[in-house]
């Protein structure tokens, strides 16, 4: 059985501006994941630099910071078994042109720099905790049970 975990997801400024927040939330809920935290927020430069710190020094870094701070985002924490891997599969490839139809980026993304959604990297074991702690305090996350969980998991 897969491990129950929490994962960080963000609808980026292009997704917010295009009215895709509800679609993203619906897809994740329909999958059986549980929303345990959400914020509609404006990211400042300090948080953007901290969030994308691994890309500092790369040619696209400043453009990435400019984009993510340009308009509001919706930051969320989702919970479920193998949640990070599930979200990554649902998102599709970073480049929407390489994403399969049926994925969020495959259905809504057109450009590498405007790919609608961010999710924690399942290959990096510390990514979830790091990203969640950047955007949420512990008391902003809600522990609760979905009524249908017995139908979702063995």
Given the residues 49, 55, 118, 122, select the one marked as catalytic: 118
Q: Which residues contact 112 (CB under 8 A, 6 or more apart)?
A: 94, 95, 96, 97
Neighbouring CB atoms inside 10 A of 149's CB total: 11
Examine the residue annotation and report whether 118 is marked as an active-site residue of this protein: yes
Q: Catalytic site residues?
A: 118
């Amino acid at each position: 059985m897969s491990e129950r975990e929490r994962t960080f997801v963000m609808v980026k400024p292009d997704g917010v501006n295009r009215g895709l927040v509800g679609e993203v939330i619906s897809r994740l809920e329909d999958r059986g994941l549980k929303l345990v935290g959400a914020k509609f927020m404006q990211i400042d430069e300090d948080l953007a630099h901290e969030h994308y710190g691994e890309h500092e020094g790369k040619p696209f870094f400043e453009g990435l910071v400019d984009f993510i701070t340009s308009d509001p985002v919706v930051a969320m924490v989702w919970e479920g078994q193998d949640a990070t891997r599930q979200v990554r599969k649902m998102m599709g490839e970073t480049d929407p042109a390489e994403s399969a139809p049926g994925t969020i980026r495959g259905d809504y993304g057109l450009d590498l720099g405007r790919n609608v959604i961010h999710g924690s990297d399942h290959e990096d074991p510390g990514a979830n905790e790091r990203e969640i702690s950047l955007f949420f305090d512990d008391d902003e996350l809600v522990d609760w049970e979905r009524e249908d969980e017995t139908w979702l998991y063995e």
